Structure 1
């Protein structure tokens, strides 16, 4: 096909996206611009090695400390744009020149990993993300730039910079790693540092940084593996982020975070601005990831105003003294709100369910997050959890945390009849009196969003056996065109994936025979990266054709003749012709006469 035809197609795709974005008006769109500077940042040292994670409705940012001072600074934000300085979360002398601090929440404690001056690691712990953090270990070495990852079965992994690239080791606990490290295959043929690992669709992804921190060629690569220990295979298109000339150069040491809409992903990284008073002067940057099947690209680096991350359709932090008009209660129990603790319920000692639900309702495809914990001694069959896809008292789903059995159970009530979709064991040290996050990804029947299909996850989030699927209400079988697809995560550990008959509806909280406390709750009508198809792309830059507008045929796009999608491909089924690539991504087949 001649260049002119490709240009016409590109213009068609871009104009379709532009026409569907009439609201809000451009002047009303909130924006941010790279690089980001913040009040109270380290003078002439900036915001190097930025790490962001989310907890109970807020994001928390930690950065490296310059070489002459002790203490680690922290900021918080409700939306990744408006940041509030929260002070030093520790002032322990051990944190002098604390490099690349990262924090992970587990069972009521926040664990911080840092390598002061790059001379081995310490772990600090706290009951709050803003501290105070206390030193909990001696220096246990392992060079620099630690990052942790927890798999679906609750196993912890420790990643760090080694002489031959990124190395990894299993952890004994959040405070201990004694296993020898092994190379992961993530290597840039030179000094390689700054690993970050996450899991998506049963594949493990790592981003990592190479070259020298004072080099304009500092850059970010990505790799993928079938195991958390590797070997990791580098992306064919590496680096995923680099710029050696222009407004921002020397880009590296990133973290990754899910946006406020619960669906988008952002890469957080720093840029080099030159030598500071002590060490390099760097500032924070943020750009969005876009998924194409099993691969991703980064829409950056940008240095012009960008639309602020999308907010959820509904969210509540319960930072007031009453439930308010957005909520409906039913069943047994006395509901209340404490602005410092969240919503709560005093449930009677009976199997009857106390239920709190939103007045607003999701669409059939959505993502929802919940924070729950118990507040009374557990009895047999007592439970606390989240409600989803609520249509009425006879039709809704629940995710239960059950202290007595140490399990998660997923149930579905249809026409008043309840069935068990699946269950999974929770870690032996799971403390039900502490905050736990429940995440539900609910894909509408006939669609997988921007992801491949999944089978059932049995006990401990692993692939279920045929017998286990039958016991779980046949939830292990492949989803049919008439079934929704549900994934359930507890503290980021996937504990269930399979079909269900639920659709859109209200979300909320529930308890039975147990007093409960409930925190941040939110939902958006996007799932599995479905928002990637309609979001603004920075130009100059690349717009992948598979991300054509989500709207209807004949309105957002138009095909002259009906195209047939490859039946084996779950991405955007029934849409225009797609073909798979060897790297797990997809391409849009555009042939003469199709458009």
Structure 2
């Protein structure tokens, strides 16, 4: 399988796009070599389909949230955190079978980028009554002491030993030792299983513990000693949809209660929230802000939030499950930026797919064909016949970009919509967009069935050891490749062979370096040919689209079977091509369109907030 890039000076092989057996296990990341990326741009409404380049403005290089998820190695869940003396401390559950959950680790960071592991900050050997299922630690500092509230033993009735305990230490990194010799809360009150505790101290000094499983949430006042409670103050505050994972924080005088809904191993795990004027509620549900993303990860939930001191910058820390993982305990720690509207409500959080390698690691990447290393904030591979690094993602419509520094020979670039990566040369499928210093070309092509097909190429001066920004926009069957943030593509092609798949980096016969990798879905509603967000995915911005305009955007008549709707958007699907006939309204992601509407779309109106 070869490709010849010949501009009259040199012949250059792209070589094999086959992958050695892959074990894809994680997700994608990003950053920015300079202070910004290209703005999203596009046309919608009567103008036809959307086109976007690059995505939203990136954060400055090495700022929090730009160095990729997961943030640490290993299986962890249920994070809570505090900022102690200039250091951020994250305390998660060790995610394993219950009988193996006998200790807690912690992680510290001064910049939310580089993390140091602190092993076994709490161990069952220091808690006489805890035997298993040590869960969901919640930290606080008071009385010149560090406290850690935790659940243990997963009790199923009042007759069992276990519940919520409290340990203390003179150091945030432990060791923490049981402060009581027995649980702080050992009974079911108001139907709430005593798990998933979150400690909160209000501005007036009153401490509260929010907790509860089995669909019930309680709050109880904690005394100033932090190891006893006001037993007369138990109050049920269960909001609509509550399952577990209570969290309380305060911003601008408003109290925010967050919680997780759905099943922690199921397809519907998510984070919702309520707002109140009192720490005791009431807490009417406002909405859901973090949901699963079939392109990046599943099982997103049980969160905490952190405010960067002296700023209004907030981040949500949570756990999620890599795509394809069937073991419920295979969860990783992640975090993303959290934004507020002017009225204090929270904007839906988008799971990010980015990596600028500022953290010095390449967590989430699986490499093949060569040795890859993180060096000076870049992901580097030495010259090899075919070097690849892949991420466990599944994007259909996408914008994908990176800064690429090719060597003097060969070529380097981006692979996307990759499937069957571990099945050998004949089964590997995917697209590739690359730049070649050896032949001064930008090329776009595809691999499949053991062959390489060039879809488009263009003569462009590419100097070795110079960094270029390469971006791919794939919307349905329209694929465009942009160089150095130009708004005009260097090459384009129409091809619908591959509809979705993993993303990655590739270098062929070239020493190459990669940086500021970023992938995102387009900023609009995405229509899919098949149920479950399968088949071609085509994004449309807000606007009104007749049948002719849908056709121009690549959407045939009576075609759509599933739909992704951004939070706050509304999509109205019409039976006829001129906005007449039966109308179906969608305000949320719909993995399978109702039977009466399936494959019936002939025109559509899309409304953005």
Give the TM-score category using the shorter length: 0.3 to 0.5
Structure number with the bigger relative contact order (C-alpha 8 A, sep ≥ 6) is: 2
Give TM-score, length-normalised by structure 1. Answer: 0.45
